[in-house]
């Protein structure tokens, strides 16, 4: 198994999925926009200016990376990606969507729980040329606005929180 998580790693995504909010979890339950028995999608704490909101899709069970992710999770993750991508198109009228998944430090993974980024894209946004310059922690209040907008499309019957 290929692992880079430090000993006794406390996974912020596992805490979020389990409903635990503490000092290592930047994201709150209110930022979850989609959840099934096997996957959860939420507005990421860190965003790229001009390409908000970056949404993460994670398996509800802990797998560190693509090397340890069982193949049967692929369909559930892809279904979540599809739903979030369509919601981003509907809510933000973006010209496209990028998905990215990183593994190991050299692959830019910085949380040791498998996750896929789903990010709205706009014509001539030069995202990949400027992404490393504009990644920033988005204030909770702003993330909650994005989460509420996406929930209206992804789960219209769920009461607003």
Would you say 139 and 27 are in contact if contact means Cβ atoms under 8 Å apart? no
The two tokens of residue 37 are 């028995």
17-154 CATH pick, 3.30.470.20, 3.20.20.30, 3.30.428.10, 1.20.1440.130: 3.30.428.10
pLDDT attached to residue 28: 85
Determine the Cα–Cα distance for residues 159 and 91; give it in Å rounded to an integer: 18
Residue 24: closest CA among 35, 16, 34:
16
User: CA 50, 51, 53, 56 torsion: positive or negative?
Assistant: negative
pTM: 0.83
pLDDT attached to residue 71: 95
Phi and psi at residue 120, to the nearest 5°: -70, 145
Residuewise pLDDT in 10s, the chain (161 residues)? 788 998 999 999 999 999 988 777 778 889 999 999 999 999 999 888 889 999 999 999 999 999 999 999 999 999 999 999 999 999 999 999 999 999 999 998 999 999 999 999 999 998 887 766 666 777 888 888 888 988 888 877 776 66
What's the residue count for the chain?
Answer: 161
Domain boundary assignment for the chain: 17-154
Rounded (5°) CA angle 45-47-51: 145
Determine the Cα–Cα distance for residues 143 and 31; give it in Å rounded to an integer: 7
pLDDT attached to residue 135: 67
């Amino acid at each position: 198994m290929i692992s880079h998580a430090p000993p006794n790693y406390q996974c912020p995504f596992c805490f979020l999925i389990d409903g635990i909010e503490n000092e290592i979890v930047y994201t709150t339950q209110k930022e979850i926009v989609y959840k099934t028995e096997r996957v959860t999608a939420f507005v990421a704490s860190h965003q790229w200016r001009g390409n908000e909101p970056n949404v993460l899709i994670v398996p509800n069970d802990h797998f560190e990376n693509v090397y340890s992710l069982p193949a049967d999770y692929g369909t559930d993750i892809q279904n979540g990606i599809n739903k979030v991508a369509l919601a981003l198109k509907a809510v933000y009228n973006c010209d496209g969507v990028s998905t990215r998944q990183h593994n190991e430090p050299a692959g830019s993974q910085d949380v040791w729980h498998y996750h896929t980024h789903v990010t709205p894209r706009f014509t001539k946004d030069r995202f990949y040329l400027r992404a490393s310059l504009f990644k920033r922690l988005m204030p909770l209040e702003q993330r909650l606005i994005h989460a509420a907008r996406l929930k209206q499309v992804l789960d219209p019957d769920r009461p607003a929180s």
